[in-house]
Structure 1
Amino acid sequence: MTNEMEQEDQYVTVVISQHVKPGCETDYEAWLRNITSVSRTYPGHLGTNVIRPQPGVRREYVIIFRFDGYENLKAWMTSRDREYWLNQGKHLVESDPHVQQLSGLEAWFSLPGQPLKTPPRYKTALLTWASVFILINLLTTFLVPLLRGLPPLIISLIITITMVALLTYVVMPRVSRLFSKWLYAK
């Protein structure tokens, strides 16, 4: 029960990967536009991203649906609309899709070009803490002096925006690669 309550209070991401039958890519793209536009009509939908195949790197399509909480995600995942569109697209794919649900910071810890796996939470917490600790000290040392004349709330706003952007797009992808052997140790 506690785990379910925790999930309800977090953003939830579902990652779906599947291989499209050769020659069906155009039809699959049309199907993808339809199912993603239907998903947008569901409460709590925060966005959909599609990572298309890259020759020599990755064969599968990866579709990422983000919702504001577990219950809204569940409503979409168990909906008749989704079931209808999955049935419409069955002939376009080689097998059933691989579906993985992520919540919180887990999505930071994925390696490009590899199936999404989530490391143990204590490892993600430790690396996130270390990254935040180092980054906040660097930002306060180098950025705060440049912002001295501004009100404290504006300084805080600039620091947090910069920190989240750096964590998401620069720091965590590199930290994930650097510590991948430790994060994903068997």
Structure 2
Amino acid sequence: MNTYGTAEKPAEVVAVLTLRTVRTGCEERFEAELHDFIARSLHAEGQLGVHVLRPEPGTGSREYGIVRRFGTGECRDRFYASSLFRQWEAAVAPLTEGAPQRQEVSGLETWFTLPGHQALVPPPRWKMAVVTVLGVWPVSMLVPWLLNPFITNLSQLLQALAIAVGIVIVLTWAVMPVLARMLRPWLGHRPQR
């Protein structure tokens, strides 16, 4: 995964995930076009950065995920209506298969991307909330207990920061991936309508 741009996160951040499948043999040219487009587009109003999720080596997948963050919904709308974006669409159309799939995402949805699954469609929000509580509750008790001997001499503000950073690290790299794998059948189950 590559990350471009380093702006601060304002109160209303809009993140958009775009999925594109690159035609076989066009990967190198797509990469060049993508790199050029990102470099030109990061200066557009309201841009907060771009994350590129490349296909996992050895999987045979040719699906790219492009997560772009905007300061507001208006900035997002202006960007996708801009001539710069239309030029990019025209440049990569012959390099990709089908129409791009686009959806807004929140930060929590990335915890629920299951390993080995190409679909980046998150579970229902209520299921994400249940699993998040299952992860946050024990971690929010464990991390302060573990850090307490090291942070007692710090101000309350720095203690809170250290605990928040510890909780986020443990959730992101340990607890949430394990819970997502363990609860995969339940998370992915969609009731019949």
| TM-score interval (norm. to shorter) | 0.7 to 0.9
Match of 2:5 in 1: none
The partner residue of 2:179 within 175, 179, 186 is: 175
The partner residue of 2:160 within 151, 156, 160 is: 156
The percent identity for this pair of structures is 35
Off by >3 Å, runs of 4+ in structure 1: none
Using the TM superposition, give the Cα deviation of residue 121 of structure 1 relative to its aligned residue in structure 2, in angstroms: 1.4
Which sections of structure 2, spanning at least 5 residues, go unmatched?
A: 1-9
Is 1:146 paired with 2:150? yes
Could you tell me whether the CA contact under 8 Å between 2:46 and 2:76 is conserved in 1?
yes
User: Which residue identity lines up with residue 36 of structure 1 in the other structure?
Assistant: I
Match of 1:34 in 2: 36
User: Which residue identity lines up with residue 132 of structure 2 in the other structure?
Assistant: T
Which sections of structure 1, spanning at least 5 residues, go unmatched?
A: 1-7
Could you tell me whether the CA contact under 8 Å between 1:35 and 1:85 is conserved in 2?
yes
Greater share of strand residues, 1 or 2?
A: 2
Match of 2:93 in 1: 90
Using the TM superposition, give the Cα deviation of residue 71 of structure 1 relative to its aligned residue in structure 2, in angstroms: 2.4
SS for the counterpart of 1:22 is coil
SS for the counterpart of 1:97 is strand
Deviates more, 1:79-88 or 1:48-57: 48-57
User: Which residue identity lines up with residue 42 of structure 2 in the other structure?
Assistant: R
Match of 2:14 in 1: 12
Tell me the matched-pair count: 179
Is 1:185 paired with 2:192? no
Is 1:127 paired with 2:119? no
Is 1:106 paired with 2:109? yes
TM-score, with normalisation over the residues of structure 1? 0.85
TM-score, with normalisation over the residues of structure 2? 0.82
Could you tell me whether the CA contact under 8 Å between 2:46 and 2:72 is conserved in 1?
yes
